[in-house]
Amino acid sequence: MLVAAAVCPPTPLIVLQLDDLRAACHDAIAALRDARPDVLIVVGGAESTSTYGGQTAGTLRPWGMDVTVGHGEPVLPLSLTVGRWLLGGRAPDGFRSVALDATSAECRILGEELGKSAEKVALLVMADGSACLSPRAPGKYDDAAEPYNDLIANAIAHADPGALATLDPAQAERLWVSGRAALQVLAGAAGSRGFEGRLLMETAPYGVGYFAGLWS
């Protein structure tokens, strides 16, 4: 059963920049630890849906940073690598990547599976918002980006899995919302349980929406 979840951005920028956002993520992760879960699992978007052990390695070298976490050959995708880095010296119990193009139903099923994986489950969900929020954003600026981003921020703030479950995959792809699938996994894990939500920080440097949030 899901007892707590944190949402943090999967950007490598958080390693060298964005100090306030990184601090907010550390606060959210500390609250996950305080929930005393039986298992802590990191969830993030990737090219495919896969399972990795908690000691699995990842690296940020392809993004120009000499940062490697875990043990062995680095195989974690970016989102999970950043999540592992944010966790610091304590490894999670496992990692789950979810395909960026996974359907909403597939995300819900994966979330339900994770929610049933132990009596007390905590999730670190690596997910960001739209990358089309300004003319200088990585994606093409789109008027629909801000309302979509606001929907995600409000869902995190109010611990509303129903709102996350309704995120449209096609619109998310158009608006460069790479966190859509991971957020819908969170919705599936939460189910109909009630949580208290806190949006610890929301920011959009370089036109990309980043969140630090907590459900407890």
pLDDT tens series, the chain, 216 aa? 999 999 999 999 999 999 999 999 999 999 999 999 999 999 999 999 999 999 999 999 999 999 999 999 999 999 999 999 999 989 999 999 999 999 999 999 999 999 999 999 999 999 999 999 999 999 999 999 999 999 999 999 999 999 999 999 999 999 999 999 999 999 999 998 899 999 999 999 999 999 999 999
* CA torsion angle 173 113 193 130 (round to 10): -10
> Hey, what are 91's tokens?
């490894």
**Beta-carbon contacts of residue 153 (< 8 Å; ≥ 6 apart):** 129, 199, 202, 209, 211
Residues 70, 71, 73, 76, Cα dihedral to 10°:
-30
- pLDDT the model gives residue 196: 97
Fold exhibited by the domain 2-215: Protocatechuate 4,5-dioxygenase; Chain B (3.40.830)
- Backbone torsion region of residue 212, taken as left when φ is above 0, otherwise alpha when ψ lies between -120 and 50, otherwise beta: beta
Q: What is the pLDDT of residue 89?
A: 87
Q: Which residues contact 101 (CB under 8 A, 6 or more apart)?
A: 169, 173, 181
Beta bridge partners of 41: 94, 123
How far does CA 215 lie from the centroid of its chain? 13
**What local confidence, expressed as pLDDT, does residue 100 receive?**
97
Helix (H, G, I), strand (E, B) or coil at 95: strand
Instruction: Give CA torsion, residues 25, 56, 184, 133, to 10 deg.
Output: 50
Q: How many helices (H) and strands (E) does the chain have?
A: 8, 10
Give pTM, 2 decimals: 0.97
Give the span between the Cα atoms of 17 and 142, in whole angstroms.
26
- Rounded Cα distance, 26 and 52, in Å: 22
How far apart, in Å, are the Cα atoms of 83 and each of 1, 24, 34, 69, 119? 21, 14, 18, 10, 23
Q: For residue 61, what are the CA distances in angstroms to 68, 141, 206?
A: 8, 29, 21
Residue 33 is predicted with a pLDDT of 94
Extract the tokens encoding 178: 């790479």
